[in-house]
Structure 1
Amino acid sequence: MISCGPVDAPPLILMHGMTVSSTMWFANAPDWSEKFRIYALDIIGDFGKSECLKPISTPQDIDVWLNEVLDALGLDDIFLVGHSMGGWISLQFSLNSNRVKKLVLLAPVMSFAPLSWKFPFKLFPSLWFRNSFFIRDLYNWMFAKGNNPDEILYQQFLNGYKYGKIQLRVVPKVFERKELERLLPETLLLIGEQEVVYSSTKKAARNASSFPNIKTKLIPNCSHCLSAEQKNVVNELVTDFLR
């Protein structure tokens, strides 16, 4: 866990995307930590530094882990921000918890729409062959055309795929309407206009917007890595929403 910000400020939990770690928030934490106490977690079972003793195979395992982390920190009322798989985990947790005051979802994988058919063809060669060509191709694919992927972040991405071991084996899903109707916290959903992981970005945004407590916004000139590609826009929207 990486912590920063005033110790007496409202707690903001950050859940990174799959196959990266808490350091993915380098473009956002400096701004958000001015108003919030940030706790950026390395999700158990992923490529970060959290130690996983056995595979994490169910959403309930993740919920138990996150509740234990919050218990250890003494936090009951939190703001929760999640990206990609971290967004799916954050939404899943919020559907089964009363600890979340407000929820921010940054391009949560599936959740509101199925995956693009291209996604497994980009992901699995990187995981199977651990080849720099496939890993770079996957990384570049998640940025909008014209946006320059951050090289320091890529080096971490590369090392994770080459040397890491995935123990997080929870398979995300599109939530049913009756499940999402249980969502209590006010929610902000941000998706890049050039998002690549959904079968239809418009469908994901339309489905989410049909719920009265979910505010949805499409961000121009970015794709799946929107928190880095359009950091100023994302930072301001999230700060305003949480405040």
Structure 2
Amino acid sequence: MISMQYDRIAKCEREEPYVTDPVRPNIGAEFRRRRLGHFRDAPAYARYRQIYDRAMAGLPPYDGFQDVPTGFGTVRAYRFGADGADAGTPLLLLPGRTASTPMWAPNLAGLRARGRAVYAIDLLGEPGLSVQSRPFANAADHGVWLAELLTGLGLARTHLLGVSIGGWTAFRLAMHAPEKVTSLSLLDPACLFGRITWKAVAVSLGTVGPLPEPWRMRLLSWISGGADASGDEPVAALISAGMRDFAAFLPPPTYPSDDEVAAVDVPTLAVIAGRSIIHHPGRAAERARRLLAQGVVELWPDASHALNGEFPERVAARVLDFVDRLDADDALHGRH
């Protein structure tokens, strides 16, 4: 049934672009009063959507998409690859802040290479095609809507791969509903194993508001270790457009205590970027090694916070080796 829905909706979207989206985006000041993520006005949405579609065109073709209702809004989820019991436990991708699904352009081909179904979502309350309908009261709400998303997708359990704030969000799900999580793969997660640095705060403050576009791009390049952040690079252009055209109302990501981290008894691959400005990499890696109950912690000294784009082949191989081993072990012991 889900596959039929995906195929039917995807066919409509490809024939007629975003005007046929079944969920209307939040646009305008009325959503500010309700403290819901929204596009500032209709021209802002039109600009953003044009850039989003251009960035999506750089991804491998998706097999379908679904807009999944949750208690906090409707989440846009794309499916890439197999959709069957013999494909193994699916892998769900969570992007970084303001990035949405197109940020996985360097990674999707590699992550699909072994036949596993891969889902990618736009985070709720962030720029993208997910549409928020209820304000977030606190950080714990992110674990709630993500659990509801998995139920709506018909996924009893899943492997999760998250970068930056997407890694933090994946960990919130493991705190809230660990029975839904087969494993976590976290790429330089923000505000999880190390506290946010003043450099990251400076970038966060500098990339919102009426900042000239060249300055915004320069800040994005800085946080990404010098990566290309020009307007000609589709994902960088999309992130910049989201910062300019979208207003978010997100509670600050809560830094989990030692006891909270240690209580998450889920197999976890934590990759810390040695050149990250989000946290102090060595301290973050040490805390992860000390606290994770089933942790595999790696410090990649040559990587920046944008490591998924810097090392796509390395990321895909490491993540797939990790999840394949877990699936094989589950099959050997009859666990599903």
Given that 2:275 and 2:302 are in contact with CA atoms closer than 8 Å, whether structure 1 keeps it comes out as yes
- Residue 76 of structure 1 aligns with which residue? 156
Shift of 1:34: 2.7
User: CA deviation digits over 1:22-62, x for unaligned, max 9?
Assistant: 11111111111233211111111001110112432422322
- Residue 51 of structure 1 aligns with which residue? 131
Q: Distance in 2 between matches of 1:221 and 1:144?
A: 10
Structure 2 counterpart of 1:175, from 247, 256, 266: 256
Q: Distance in 1 between matches of 2:302 and 2:102?
A: 23
**Aligned runs of 1:150-189 on 2, under 5 Å?**
151-167=233-249, 169-189=250-270
Q: Distance in 1 between matches of 2:322 and 2:214?
A: 39
Q: What amino acid maps onto 1:132 in structure 2?
A: E
Q: Distance in 2 between matches of 1:57 and 1:225?
A: 29
- Residue 138 of structure 1 aligns with which residue? 219
Given that 1:2 and 1:39 are in contact with CA atoms closer than 8 Å, whether structure 2 keeps it comes out as yes
Q: What amino acid maps onto 2:78 in structure 1?
A: I
- Structure with the greater relative contact order (CA < 8 A, sep ≥ 6): 1 or 2? 1
Shift of 1:166: 1.4
- Residue 307 of structure 2 aligns with which residue? 226
Structure 2 counterpart of 1:30, from 100, 109, 112: 109
Given that 2:147 and 2:173 are in contact with CA atoms closer than 8 Å, whether structure 1 keeps it comes out as no
Q: Distance in 2 between matches of 1:165 and 1:30?
A: 32
* Length-normalised TM-score, structure 2: 0.68
Q: What amino acid maps onto 1:3 in structure 2?
A: R
Given that 1:113 and 1:204 are in contact with CA atoms closer than 8 Å, whether structure 2 keeps it comes out as yes
- Residue 19 of structure 1 aligns with which residue? 98
- Structure 1 residues 103, 114: closer, same or farther in 2, change over 3 A? same
Instruction: Give aligned pairs, total.
Output: 240
* Length-normalised TM-score, structure 1: 0.93
From the CA coordinates, give the structure whose radius of gyration is larger.
2
Alignment of 1:122 with 2:220, yes or no, is no
- Residue 102 of structure 1 aligns with which residue? 183
- Structure 1 residues 15, 179: closer, same or farther in 2, change over 3 A? same
- Residue 328 of structure 2 aligns with which residue? none
Structure 1 counterpart of 2:144, from 64, 80, 96: 64
Q: What amino acid maps onto 1:12 in structure 2?
A: L
Q: What amino acid maps onto 2:200 in structure 1?
A: F
User: CA deviation digits over 1:78-128, x for unaligned, max 9?
Assistant: 101111111111111102211101111111111111111111212112112
Shift of 1:217: 0.8
Given that 1:195 and 1:222 are in contact with CA atoms closer than 8 Å, whether structure 2 keeps it comes out as yes
Q: Distance in 2 between matches of 1:236 and 1:130?
A: 38
Q: Distance in 2 between matches of 1:130 and 1:235?
A: 35
Given that 1:122 and 1:134 are in contact with CA atoms closer than 8 Å, whether structure 2 keeps it comes out as no
Q: Distance in 2 between matches of 1:95 and 1:72?
A: 19
Q: What amino acid maps onto 2:252 in structure 1?
A: V
Q: Secondary structure at the match of 2:176?
A: coil
Q: Distance in 2 between matches of 1:204 and 1:235?
A: 22
User: CA deviation digits over 1:162-217, x for unaligned, max 9?
Assistant: 212213x121133211111211211000122111110x210000000113411111
Q: Distance in 1 between matches of 2:211 and 2:155?
A: 38
> Please, which runs of 5 or more residues in structure 1 have no aligned partner?
none
Q: What amino acid maps onto 2:270 in structure 1?
A: L
Given that 1:191 and 1:226 are in contact with CA atoms closer than 8 Å, whether structure 2 keeps it comes out as no
Supply the RMSD in Å over aligned alpha carbons. Answer: 1.6
Q: Secondary structure at the match of 1:121?
A: helix
Q: Distance in 2 between matches of 1:34 and 1:232?
A: 11
Q: Distance in 2 between matches of 1:34 and 1:57?
A: 39
Comparing 124-133 with 103-112, greater Cα deviation is found at: 124-133
Q: Distance in 2 between matches of 1:60 and 1:222?
A: 30
- Residue 87 of structure 1 aligns with which residue? 167
